[in-house]
C-alpha cells in the first residue's frame, strides 16, 4: 500500500521544507479547492509548479473544483503526474478523463460520501487508472473518518480492476479498516507527528497487520 501525504495539512509557511521531509512517502497529494465545489480556496497551479523541482515524488493533484475540464491542461503543465477529479463536479466525466490521458497523465475519479458507485458501470476503464473513495466530506482537514464508506471499497472492487484509494480521516487506527486498498491519502496524522517517516511507516504497518491476521 502506498501513502500520499496531503499538503493541505502541512505548514503553509514552509511548504518546501515540508516536502523535503517526506522522502519516505510514495507521492504527494495536492488539494486544489476553488471556493465553489467546496468552500475553501487553496493551492493553484503556480504553487504546484513552484514546488515541482523540490522532489521527484509523483504529484497527485486533486481538483475539488467545478468544471475541471477547463483546467486540465494548466495542472498537467504545472507538473501533475496524477489528476484526480470528482464525478460530481462535471457533466462530462468521460471527456475529462480523455483530456487527462491526452496529456500523458494518470487519471483518478474521486467519489464523495453520498455518491453511489453505479456510475463506474458506464466508464471506459481504459481511461481510468484509480478510484479515490472520500472517507470524509471534501473541503476541510481534520475530519473524522466515516466508517459508512468502508463498504464502498468492496463495491468499487466489483466494478473496477485498477487502484483504489481512500482519502480523509486516515490514521493508524482507521487504516486497519481499509482492506483491499492500493493507497491512502493522509494529512493530519502525518503532519501532526514529529517524525513524518515514522508516521508513514506506521500506516503501512497497520494496514499490513490487518491483512495478515484477516486473510
Give the active site residues.
31, 167
Q: Are 60 and 28 in contact (CB under 8 A)?
A: yes
| Gap between the Cα atoms of 211 and 57, Å rounded | 27
| Gap between the Cα atoms of 199 and 186, Å rounded | 10
3-state DSSP assignment of residue 16: helix
Tell me the DSSP string of 127-154.
Answer: G--EEEEESS-TT-SSPPP-GGGHHHHH
In sequence order, which residues have a C-beta less than 8 Å from that of residue 205 and are 6 or more positions away?
A: none
Q: Are 77 and 70 in contact (CB under 8 A)?
A: no
Amino acid at each position: 500500500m502506498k501513502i500520499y501525504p496531503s499538503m493541505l495539512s502541512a505548514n503553509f509557511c514552509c511548504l518546501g521544507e515540508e516536502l523535503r521531509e517526506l522522502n519516505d512517502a510514495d507521492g504527494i497529494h495536492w488539494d486544489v479547492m476553488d471556493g465553489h465545489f467546496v468552500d475553501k480556496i487553496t493551492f493553484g497551479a503556480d504553487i504546484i509548479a513552484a514546488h515541482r523541482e523540490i522532489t521527484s515524488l509523483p504529484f497527485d493533484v486533486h481538483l475539488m473544483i467545478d468544471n475541471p475540464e477547463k483546467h486540465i491542461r494548466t495542472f498537467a503543465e504545472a507538473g501533475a503526474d496524477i489528476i484526480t477529479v470528482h464525478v460530481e463536479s462535471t457533466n462530462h466525466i468521460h471527456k475529462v478523463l480523455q483530456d487527462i490521458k491526452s496529456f500523458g497523465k494518470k487519471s483518478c475519479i474521486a467519489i464523495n460520501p453520498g455518491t453511489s458507485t453505479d456510475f463506474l458501470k458506464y466508464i471506459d476503464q481504459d481511461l481510468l487508472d484509480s478510484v479515490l473513495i472520500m472517507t470524509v466530506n471534501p473541503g476541510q482537514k481534520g475530519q473524522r473518518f466515516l466508517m459508512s464508506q468502508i463498504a464502498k471499497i468492496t463495491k468499487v472492487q466489483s466494478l473496477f480492476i485498477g487502484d483504489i484509494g481512500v482519502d480523509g480521516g486516515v490514521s493508524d487506527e482507521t487504516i486497519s479498516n481499509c482492506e483491499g486498498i492500493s493507497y491512502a491519502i493522509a494529512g493530519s496524522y502525518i503532519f501532526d507527528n514529529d517524525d513524518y517517516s515514522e508516521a508513514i511507516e506506521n500506516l503501512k504497518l497497520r494496514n499490513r497487520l490487518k491483512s495478515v491476521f484477516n486473510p
